[in-house]
Chain A
Amino acid sequence: MRELYARLKALYPLGELTEQRKNLAFVTVPAAHLRDTLLHLRDKEGFTHLVLLTAVDWLEEGQFQLTYLLNNRALACDLGLRVLIQRDTATMESIHDLWPTAATYQRELREMFGIDFPGSPRIEEEFILEGWNSIPPYRRDFDTLKYAQEAYAERPGRVTHDPETHMRLQMYPGQHPAGK
């Protein structure tokens, strides 16, 4: 993995290498160089399989992090490319022409995170949610609980127990709930 990183580093302005395991590592790529890096990895380095494309919402930093996880079947190792994009514009170049499966991931990201991938097939169509009328639900400023309470009828009488207090009362009934 280190050798691969050294080879890549000579070609593209990469960030630090984060090695999770011997066969799994992550590296940050500027958005402008993503396509070249992916093409190079796919055609020259044998990373022929796009395992997944997913996103993380860094709300405080105002960024979305896209993770393109690639797999090299021959070497049985995975390399994740991380791309940071602006949260307010939330637009990224589509890679559906490199891996057709990416189109599905991009549709999902558009619906769940509101990240647009112009030119990706059927990107405008609804994917999982039908008739969604709020901000994309995987964005961290979306209040899931509040939405659920407003949108869906509830049956009264639901009780929530703090697991620790509840189990202590169950197991040591005489003891004061707060005491240790």
Chain B
Amino acid sequence: MTTKPELMKRMVKGPDGLEFEVDPLRDYYCEAPPTVMPGAYIQIVEDFFNWARSKSLWILGFGTGCGAIEMRPLMTPRFDAYRFGVAWRPTPRQANLFIISGYLSTKTLKRAIRAYEQMQNPKYVIGLGSCTINGGMYWDSYNTIKKLDEYLPVDLYIAGCMPRPEALLAGFEEMKKIIRTGKAEGANQYAENFAWYKANQKRVIHDWDMPDYNW
């Protein structure tokens, strides 16, 4: 791993004049890999949790590709996705649904992975548009990934190039169904197959200069 200068161990002088050592990889990030989150002790409680989770979708407002343009009309009165009980949040820590909106260049993939790992459990991923499914029109591009579920666990794909906002609304309803039936186990899948996901990610991101897990 090549480390960025700001991630290197160094001596820092505090405002009170005291010098102390900072090792950003240990002090600012968590070294522990993600763990599988067990379900509730009894199925009916887990079902209730899932019902509650399906009513509370908070989307990370991070547009990775051109598909992000389809999310704008959803936030405005024309389509008004808020009436379906979904809302956009500005930071990963406040969101539980990550919409990969279109093509992902390897540069954006790196940011998307970081954003996904910073999100709190339970968390879900929707792949929006053909690009996330099989590359779409970027099938022969030198810099975009073609199969999103190699790098992040995807719960639902919405096909199209681009899908209309109505398709996204239908996708949200479908996502809620998946969560209610308890099949949205993406975060646990990611924790279980952590090594496999990391290996895939590192195969395409050649300048891996961040910690392996960094929430």
Contacts and interface: CB of A to CB of B under 8 A. Distances in A.
Contacts of A131: 106, 205-208
A158 B141 contact: no
B134 interface: yes
Nearest to B207: A131
A145 B140 contact: yes
A130 interface: yes
A147 B106 CA distance: 14
B147 A154 contact: yes
Interface in A69-93: none
Contacts of A145: 140
A126 B110 CA distance: 15
Nearest to B141: A148
B146 A130 contact: no
A129 B143 contact: yes
A144 B142 contact: yes
Which interface class (under 10, 10 to 19, 20 to 34, 35 or more) fits B?
A: 20 to 34
Contact of B150 (A128, A129, A130, A153): A153
A20 interface: no
B140 A129 contact: no
Contacts of A151: 142, 203-204
A142 B139 contact: no
Given A131-B207, A153-B200, A137 B143 contact: yes
A153 B206 contact: no
Interface string B190-215: 00000000001001111110000000
Contacts of A152: 135, 144-147, 204
B10 interface: no
Interface of B: 106-107, 110, 133-135, 139-147, 150, 200, 203-208
B21 to A, nearest CB: 29
Contacts of A134: 142
A132 B144 CA distance: 13
B146 A154 contact: yes
Contacts of B141: 144, 148
A106 to B, nearest CB: 20
Given A131-B207, A153-B147, A142 B142 contact: yes
Contacts of A129: 107, 143
The 10 A-B residue pairs with the shortest CB-CB distance in the complex, in nearest-first order: A131-B207, A131-B206, A155-B134, A145-B140, A153-B150, A137-B142, A155-B147, A153-B147, A152-B146, A144-B142
B152 to A, nearest CB: 13
Nearest to A145: B140
A128 B150 CA distance: 23
Contacts of A133: 206
Given A131-B206, A148-B140, 17 more contacts: A126-B207, A128-B107, A130-B110, A132-B206, A133-B206, A137-B143, A144-B140, A147-B142, A148-B139, A151-B142, A152-B145, A153-B145, A153-B147, A155-B133, A155-B135, A155-B146, A155-B147
